[in-house]
């Protein structure tokens, strides 16, 4: 029994109407609505253009391919993230150089990036985790091309600049439970039209001037894009609800037991996730798991915000900040359709089940 799931897509009448219209048109593959969604996303982020693809993971892979990253190159990425960025680097045949995170924000630590760079470093994948922008200013000063991973953060700013508008390339994911969803889906965005043209050539095999072994079929459909367009129109409303619910968590949970997310000055948080730091009581992974299942028994689904850090999968040592995050970070339910009462109930269960 789950009465408060950890995440939930925000779908309403507008999305149903938009999808139905495409079905009625009989043109359900990629077409004009995909183009409309691409232009809408590019305008929202503040870049020249976007190329819609079938997932965020594919978007990462095509971003790397468009840059010509491959064998003999390396790409820097954080340990504390889902495995999608690592998979994309594997797929293009490059080497992933995994670095630790900032222990306070859970985002990439620019100092670690500087130490990890070599003459073969071609790019840094910069996930903006949980709705909080990474330290783009410090990362940009390193002079390595940045691929911003906006799968978890849209509409947030760092020193007044929109996330997604700073890197050479930006990728988004529209998976069912992301900020803006199309079921599955992704996009590569950039100010560089030549790079976007290469991504376009890679997502489609048909009618190419020559055979390209790296090309594939990973297009988005109009059916998905129609939902994307209506979701994009609602994004401002979604963010207002998320911020209001985050504020209720902040007020109802004692900060000494559940440290709230910290937002460094000059950055804005859009609360894709509300991730607290547990202060006590959970000395071992087993106790953490027990805590999660006690809450699940009462209908509250909380999660580890990252299933397993990459360095743990790969058995790499010396990642103290990612290790700590893996031990103390807890992600609470947060999505636009969650009610104020549910947040208060969740806050009560979180405290009562903490031993």
Ligand X SMILES: *Cc1c(COP(=O)(O)O)cnc(C)c1O
Tell me which of 112, 178, 241, 304 is the catalytic residue.
178
Does residue 82 belong to the site contacting ligand X (CB under 6 A)? yes
User: Which range of residues in 53-61, 71-79, 108-116, 286-294 is near ligand X by CB under 6 A?
Assistant: 53-61
Q: Which of 10, 173, 182, 322 binds ligand X (CB under 6 A)?
A: 173
Sequence-separated (6 or more) residues with CB below 8 Å from residue 22: 28, 33, 222, 223, 226
- Look-up of token digits 């906006």: 150
Q: Which is nearer to ligand X, 308 or 355 (CB)?
A: 308
Nearest to 171 by CA among 250, 326, 53: 53
Q: Which stretch binds ligand X (CB under 6 A): 33-41, 55-63, 103-111, 291-299?
A: 55-63
Residue 219 CA to chain centroid, in angstroms?
Answer: 20
CA dihedral 37→38→40→46, nearest 10 degrees, is 160
Q: Is 222 exposed, middle or buried (0-12, 13-18, 19+ CB in 10 A)?
A: buried
Count of residues that bind ligand X according to CB under 6 A = 14
The CA distances from residue 111 to 13, 100, 127, 261, in Å, are 47, 9, 16, 22
Min separation Cβ 74 and ligand X, Å? 19
Q: Which is nearer to ligand X, 186 or 336 (CB)?
A: 186
**Among residues 55 and 231, whose Cβ is nearest to ligand X?**
55
- Smallest gap from residue 57 Cβ to ligand X (A): 3
Question: Per CB under 6 A, does 84 bind ligand X?
Answer: yes
Q: How far is the CB of 34 from ligand X (least distance, A)?
A: 16
Q: Which of 18, 81, 199, 321 binds ligand X (CB under 6 A)?
A: 81
Give me the phi and psi of 4, to 5 degrees please.
-125, 95
Enumerate long-range contacts of 33-39, CB under 8 Å, 24 or more apart. 33/222, 33/225, 33/226, 33/229, 34/219, 34/220, 34/221, 34/222, 34/225, 36/225, 36/229, 37/220, 37/225, 37/226, 37/228, 37/229, 37/232, 38/187
**Residue 178 a catalytic site member:** yes
Q: Does 152 bind ligand X (CB under 6 A)?
A: yes
How far, in Å, CA of 164 to CA of 26, rounded?
34
Q: Where does residue 297 rank: exposed (0-12), middle (13-18), buried (19+ CB within 10 A)?
A: exposed
**According to the binding rule CB under 6 A, does residue 261 interact with ligand X?**
no
Q: Which region among 27-35, 80-88, 226-234, 324-332 touches ligand X (by CB under 6 A)? A: 80-88
Q: What distance lies between CA 38 and its chain's CA centroid?
A: 18
| CB of 161 vs ligand X, minimal distance in Å | 19
Taking the complex as a whole, the smallest distance from the CB of residue 10 to ligand X amounts, in Å, to 16
Give whichever of 94 and 349 is closer to ligand X, judged by the CB atom: 94
265 Cβ contact partners less than 8 Å away, ≥ 6 residues apart: none
Where in 184-203 is the site for ligand X (CB under 6 A)?
186
Closer of 85 and 110 to ligand X (Cβ): 85
| CA 122 vs CA 69, 74, 84, 282: distances in Å | 7, 6, 18, 40
Count CA atoms within 13 Å of residue 107 on its CB side: 29
Told to check if 225 binds ligand X by CB under 6 A, we report no
Closer Cβ to ligand X, 52 or 82, answer by number: 82
The binder of ligand X chosen from 38, 109, 135, 149 (CB under 6 A): 149
Site for ligand X contains 42 (CB under 6 A): no
Task: Candidates 4, 38, 57, 222: give the one binding ligand X (CB under 6 A).
Answer: 57
121/152 with CB nearer ligand X: 152
Q: Find the binder of ligand X among 69, 151, 169, 276 (CB under 6 A).
A: 151
Q: How many CB atoms lie within 10 A of CB 132?
A: 26
Catalytic residues: 178
Please report, as ranges, the residues that interact with ligand X according to CB under 6 A: 55-57, 81-82, 84-85, 127, 149, 151-152, 173, 175, 186
């Amino acid at each position: 029994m789950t009465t408060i799931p950890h995440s939930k897509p925000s779908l309403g009448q507008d999305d149903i109407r938009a999808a139905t219209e495409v079905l009625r048109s009989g043109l359900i593959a990629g077409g004009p609505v995909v183009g409309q969604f691409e232009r809408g996303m590019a305008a929202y982020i503040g870049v020249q253009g976007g190329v819609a693809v079938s997932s965020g993971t594919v978007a990462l892979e095509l971003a790397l391919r468009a840059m010509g990253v491959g064998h003999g190159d390396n790409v820097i990425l954080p340990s504390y993230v889902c495995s999608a960025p690592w998979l994309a680097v594997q797929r293009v045949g490059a080497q992933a150089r995994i670095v630790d995170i900032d222990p306070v924000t859970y985002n990439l630590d620019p100092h670690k990036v500087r130490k990890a760079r070599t003459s073969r470093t071609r790019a840094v994948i910069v996930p903006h985790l949980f709705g909080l922008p990474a330290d783009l200013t410090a990362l940009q000063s390193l002079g390595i091309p940045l691929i911003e991973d906006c799968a978890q953060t849209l509409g947030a700013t760092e020193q007044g600049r929109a996330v997604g508008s700073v890197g050479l390339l930006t990728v988004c994911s529209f998976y069912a439970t992301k900020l803006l969803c199309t079921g599955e889906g992704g996009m590569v965005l950039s100010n560089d039209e030549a790079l976007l043209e290469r991504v376009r050539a890679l997502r489609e095999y048909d009618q190419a001037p020559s055979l390209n072994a790296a090309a594939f079929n990973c297009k988005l459909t109009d059916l998905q894009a129609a939902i994307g367009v209506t979701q994009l129109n609602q994004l401002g409303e979604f963010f207002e609800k998320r911020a209001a619910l985050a504020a209720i968590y902040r007020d109802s949970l004692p900060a000494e037991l559940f440290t709230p997310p910290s937002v460094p000055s000059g950055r804005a948080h859009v609360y894709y996730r509300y991730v607290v730091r547990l202060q006590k009581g959970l000395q071992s992974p087993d106790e953490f798991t027990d805590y999660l299942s006690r809450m699940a028994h009462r209908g509250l689904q909380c999660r580890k915000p990252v299933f397993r850090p990459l360095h743990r999968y790969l058995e790499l040592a010396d990642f103290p900040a990612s290790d700590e995050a893996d031990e103390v970070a807890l992600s609470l339910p947060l999505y636009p359709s969650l009610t104020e009462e549910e947040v208060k109930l969740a806050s009560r269960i979180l405290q009562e089940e903490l031993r």
